[in-house]
Structures are given as structure tokens and as C-alpha cells.
Amino acid sequence: MKRHAIILAAGKGTRMRTKLPKCAFPILKKPMIDYIVENVEKIDVDTVVTVVGHQKHVIQEVLDTRTLYAVQAEQLGTGHAALAAKTLLKDEEGTTLILLGDMPLIDKKTLQSIYEVHENSDQVLTVVTANFEAPHGYGRIIRDDYGKITAIVEEKNCTEAQRKITEINTGLYAVDNKRLFEALDKVEKDPIKGEYYLTDIVKIMNEDHPVGTFTIRENHRVMGVNDLYAVSQAEKYLRDEINKDLMLNGVSMINPETITIGHNVQIEGNVTLLPNTTITGESIIKEGAVIGPNTEIHNGIIHESVEVKHSLIYDSEVHERTTVGPFAHLRNRANIGKDNRIGNFVEVKKSTTGHDTKASHLAYIGDTTTGSHVNFGCGSITVNYDGRDKHRTSIGDDVFIGCNTNLIAPITIEDNVFIAAGSTVTDNIPSGSLAIARNRQINKADYAKNLIKPKLKNNIIK
């Protein structure tokens, strides 16, 4: 049997108070709709349609070609949004799962269970429900005396008795695809709100077809993220779940409640994470690494036995046994070789280093290719920007760069070079050379009195 999915992601999300469309808002630095599509991709689904509307280009940039798109030009309710997918799915057989784009905690296991329960029953429509002790804001599930679902009533339309019902509508539905669009064509506009409600298909289908339910046991899986407080709650659920799995697989975490690991991060066993560490994106942390405290890594690859503390690493790679920090910053595809030392207040941008290279403190290495056994003295800078263009610096092996040296790019420093401290180097340096690029010191005896302002005491010059 074919499987399809419709993801409703056309709304503005005004309660988020953000310029982003709600479904693109990041949860642990990842757009919330990305979690949903990623989990749909993990199960056997033939066609995925995302219904977009408000700032549709933002959602399309996030998902790219991973789904098809249907456009809801006017925001006329959930029923109207689902109907927008008709042109793409109307001729398809099989089961369609309707999902909400603001439900990032839904997981692969839950999605698979919904499909299987529906497909193994004779139901044309399966409504996914949950039981909440405090169901404020949710539509209630109405059942007859035999326990059969008969309708969903939005809370604002509930009687006092119906408000006491704790079984709620999650907004998820598994439905026979062709019957879905037949029912949606029959949904009428609400006379008060002027919208078409997807919930009305329960009553419509009940007239001629069997309708049933599937009850979620883990309520947080169907939590909708509608405001920034809900974002923090969703992040807490994800953080706790991810951290637990990692610790059970051999990752040591000191004060795990302060550690944030993204959904797609891979961490091997025998890694130690110290407090206030954040690792997100497609980062990979390999065995024996020690990360933190107070460290952030995004889209970083950290190899075996690397130590990183009090530092930032973005879109960069650090190879075996290298130490980074404290207070270092690697960014824009920095690639640090084995057994390096990138120390205090060192920034590396769009550069590579070889084996056993050191920049221990107060250096900037930008747009540079550096060989092995190179030492950057304190205050060394590769001057890569001339005010208009960026230029590259090439440094060979076994090079000593003295303190407070400026290498004015574009420039090539060949192997076995020694550069004297305080030099501003503007020309290439051939192999085996000593480079001194500074004026000779001149001492003028008894001259300082002309430069130093005299001290006054009781208006008398001393």
C-alpha cells in the first residue's frame, strides 16, 4: 500500500513574535519542520507534500527538493490548507498522514505506529488522540455510548460537560487518500471564523465510513510549538532525550543539564563533555575527545583525543591530539592538523595547518595554508585583507614566526625560514632564510626629557 504525507506549514505563527514563519523557527539550531520531514524520510513514504503560505520561500529554502509543495494563498483554516494538496495527490491510492509543521517532537517510531494501526484496521479515517490532565486550548474527542468517535469539538464551542473531557485531538490524521479529498470538498466554512476546519471530516466520514482513533501515550510527542516558551519546553525534551541516549552509549557528561547536543550530532564512546557545552548541526566528535567547559561547536569535526575548552568552532575540523583554547575561535572551514596547539585568543579562519604546528596565543591566521612544525609567535597576524579583496598566505614547513609579525598577503614563506620578531613582511621569503623587516633601533642619549611631560609639585618643575 502506498503511503503519503501532508505537512501543514502555511501559518504565520503570530504568537512566536518573530519575523520567521513559525515552522522555520529553530529548535536547537535546526528549523522545527526539518525534524518532521527528517523522521518522515526514515519510514517508507512515497510522496511528501508541504503546504506553504506565509513566507513560503523560507520553508522552501529549508526543505529544498525534499518535498513537493502546495500553496495555500489565503489562510482559511486547516481544512482549506489540506485541500491545497489535492492537485498533487487526488489520483493516488493508499494512506495519507496529515501532520502539523509545528510538532517537532514527533518521532519515527510514532509515525510508523500511526500508519500501521490505520493500515491494519478497516478504518477509512484514524484520528490521533492523547489524554491531557489539563487540556486547555485543545479540541475534545466526542464519543458515543459505545466508545465510537463521533466528532471533534473545538474548545471554544464546547459545552461545560465537554470541557471536562481529557481526550484531545492532536491534529494528526491517517486517512484513505481518495476519501480524504472527497470529505474535504464537503467541509463548509465556519460562519463565525470564516474558516474551513479539518476536524469536520470526522463527522462527514462517520456518515458512510468507519472512523477510529489511535491514542498517543507519550504526550510530549504531539506537543505543538506556538510561542517562545513552548520552544524552550521542546528544546528541554529534546536535550534530555539526546543526552540520555548518548550517556547510555558511553559519553561522559559532567552536569548534563547544562549540556546541549543537537539532533544530528554524532558522538562516539569515551568522549567527555564538560559543563556549558553546546554541539549542534552535523558535528562529529570522535573517541577520546574532551570538550568544554564553555565551548560551542557547530558543524565541526573533532578527531580522536582532541581537547577543546572555552572555545568556538564553526564549520571546521580539528585532527588528532590537538588542543584548542582557551578562548580560541575556528571558523569558515578551518582545518587544523594533528598535534597542533591553537591557544589563548587565537582565531583561525579559512586556513589549514600541518602536523605539530603551534599558535599558542594572541594570533590571527586567515586565508592561509600552513605546513608542519610551524610556530606563530605571540601577536602574529596574516594580513589577508587590503580593504577590497582577501588574499592568501602560504607558509612552508619548519618556519619560526617571531612575536608581533605581520605577513602582508599575498605572500609565500618557504621551508626552514626564521622571521625576526616585530617584522612586517611584504615580500616572499625563500627557503632557509632569516627575514628581518624592521628599522634598526636608534638610541638618542639624554633625549627623553624633550618628549616626557615634566611632573609638577607645588607648581615647581622637578
Catalytic residue positions, numbered: 361
- DSSP notation for 21-51: -GGGSEETTEEHHHHHHHHHHTS--SEEEEE
**Could you tell me which of 285, 284, 236 has the C-alpha nearest to residue 260?**
236
The cell numbers describing 335, all together, are 582545518
Burial label for 403, CB within 10 Å (0-12, 13-18, 19+), is middle
Contact by Cβ (8 Å): 393, 407: yes
- DSSP notation for 116-140: HHHHTSS-SEEEEEEE-SS-TTSPE
Cα separation, 344 vs 327, in Å, equals 5
Phi, psi of 128 (to 5 degrees): -90, 125
> How many of the other CB atoms lie within 10 Å of CB of 244?
12
Helix, strand and coil content of the chain, in percent to the nearest 5, comes to 20, 30, 45
Cα separation, 29 vs 302, in Å, equals 19
Cα separation, 64 vs 245, in Å, equals 30
Phi, psi of 87 (to 5 degrees): -65, -25
Burial label for 448, CB within 10 Å (0-12, 13-18, 19+), is exposed
**Could you tell me which of 350, 389, 405, 337 has the C-alpha nearest to residue 413?**
405
Burial 407-433 (b: 16+ CB within 10 A, else e): bbbebbbbbebbbbbbbebeeebeeee
CA dihedral sign, ordered 160, 162, 166, 169: negative
